[in-house]
Structure 1
Amino acid sequence: MIYVRKVGPYLGHRRQPQSRIIKLLLMLLILVISITLTVKLLNTDVELKLENLIEWPNEGPDYRVTRSILHKNSSIPGKCGLPQPCPEEHFAYKISSGAANVIGAKICFNGDILIGVTKTLGTGINIAVVNGKTGELVDAASFDMWSGEVEPLVKFLTSIQNGSIVLMASYDEPASRLNDEARTLISQLGSSHISTLGFRDNWIFVAGKGIKNIKPLEKHIKNDKSVNKYDDWPEMVEMDGCLPRKQD
């Protein structure tokens, strides 16, 4: 006997629903991809519009990258070693105290080293004064507070004009020669730690004299041999970020 298998209609019946499922899955995949791309484009457009809508704060505990939403995709590094550029009408800064009596203090402002290994560095208190409007250096000096005299420091502090940005950093020993007059002048700039600054403490301070849109910033670590990083000296302290330009 001869047997005949009718395979055509049967296979066609099985393939038809599989083909429909595959087409449906492809359509869903295309739809998901389209929605994802649309959302990304809309988010990019919103971020670009925010540049002209958001009022970025000039005051706060830290001015570091205050407009990160505009720079988060930027590959351009900022000045003074900052990971990103500062916003317009802001100055980049980075300041660090000395480390023991080996590594000196360093003050960088708007890309320029104002206090460093080869510039005006000295034991004691290092100070840089810049024009709050232009960012140009007005004066920089160091004052030996171990074997020097305090009078030159007092004279320097009283000469600082309104509208100046002042940056201070300790190196080795910043306090032995300080008197009440010097501490008061620094306190009037906005320091809350100068009154307790002691032997071989590490301290950094940034402020604007007569500049309302700059809030004083400082860090202070006490000399405590039981916890010091460098035996007779505490660890180095540092700050960096963006300072607003003086407003008219």
Structure 2
Amino acid sequence: MRPVTAGIFKALLFIFSSLCAWYSGYLLAELIPDVPLSNTLYNIRSIGERPVLKAPVPKRQKCDHWSPCPPDTYAYRLLSGGGLDKYAKICFEDEMLLGEKTGNVARGINIAVVDYETGKVISTKYFDMYEGDNSEPMTKFIQSIPSKSLLFMVTHDDGSHKLQAQAKDAIEALGSKEIKNIKFRSSWVFVAAKGFVLPSERREKKSTTQINPGTDTPAGQQRSRSKDAYPKG
């Protein structure tokens, strides 16, 4: 083969090889997804690593419990309130009986009554203990509650200023050990029963921390609360 012909052949072969290489690279670029280099390196590095098992997100339970209540029990949550955006709450079997959204919470002592055997709500009431004479009406309301009833009681803002001795005696008769100790703007929650007895260690919680006037939250961020379950009737 002549030198000139051999040179032309080599040049054509080089051009053809270059075109093939360019086309192969083009096909790879089109077929392989556009993944950042950092992701590619991470995927390569993670091949030899052990898989990490992530804990599942906890399932929401009734009344914001973190774990399900035992069978044949009622779930409840009580939360005292104060200020402009920390409203008292009473939740029973995942139903909000009393709170801001239900529109039936107010300053004073808030009460929800539930039929112990059926779990049905009988009534909800609130009694202002800062203004007006509402201590006697609350006493009569408590005395009128039928037997075999659960009573849930929470304070919002202040529940003691005009609370009279007769009302305190009525609440104490239900098993309260703190009703005569609450002070101005104390936080207090109480679970009571008429016609049967509940475990005493789960019935009542009180915080003597007073709510700061003119603020939206209780002093020290303390709010009395109770979250538990009781056997069904």
Structure 1 residue 77 displacement after superposition? 3.4
1:129 to 87, 98, 113: 113
Structure 1 residue 187 displacement after superposition? 0.4
Does residue 195 in structure 1 map to residue 180 in structure 2? yes
CA contact (8 A) 2:172 2:179 kept: yes
Counterpart secondary structure, 1:239: strand
Correspondences of 1:218-237 after superposition (within 5 Å):
218-223=204-209, 233=219, 235-237=222-224
Structure 1 residue 99 displacement after superposition? 3.4
Counterpart secondary structure, 2:140: helix
Which residue does 1:82 correspond to in 2?
A: 65
Cα distance change, pair 77–124 in 1 and its aligned pair in 2 (3 A) = same
CA contact (8 A) 2:82 2:211 kept: no
2:137 to 139, 147, 152: 152
Alignment-mate amino acid for residue 91 of structure 1: Y
Gaps of 5+ in 1: 1-72
Which residue does 1:95 correspond to in 2?
A: 78
CA contact (8 A) 1:199 1:223 kept: no
Gaps of 5+ in 2: 1-55
Once the two structures are aligned, what percentage of the paired residues are identical?
A: 33
Which residue does 1:240 correspond to in 2?
A: 227
Counterpart secondary structure, 1:199: coil
Correspondences of 1:1-248 after superposition (within 5 Å):
76-119=59-102, 120-149=104-133, 150-215=135-200, 217-223=203-209, 233=219, 235-246=222-233
TM-score by length of 1: 0.63
Counterpart secondary structure, 1:185: helix
CA contact (8 A) 1:105 1:169 kept: yes
* d(CA) in 2 for partners of 1:76, 1:103: 25
Structure 1 residue 135 displacement after superposition? 0.9
Alignment-mate amino acid for residue 181 of structure 1: Q
CA contact (8 A) 1:101 1:171 kept: no
Q: Deviations over 1:203-239 (max 9, x none)?
A: 001122222354451111114589xx98975621111
CA RMSD across the alignment: 2.5
TM-score by length of 2: 0.67
CA contact (8 A) 1:91 1:243 kept: yes
Between structure 1 and structure 2, the one with the greater Rg is: 2
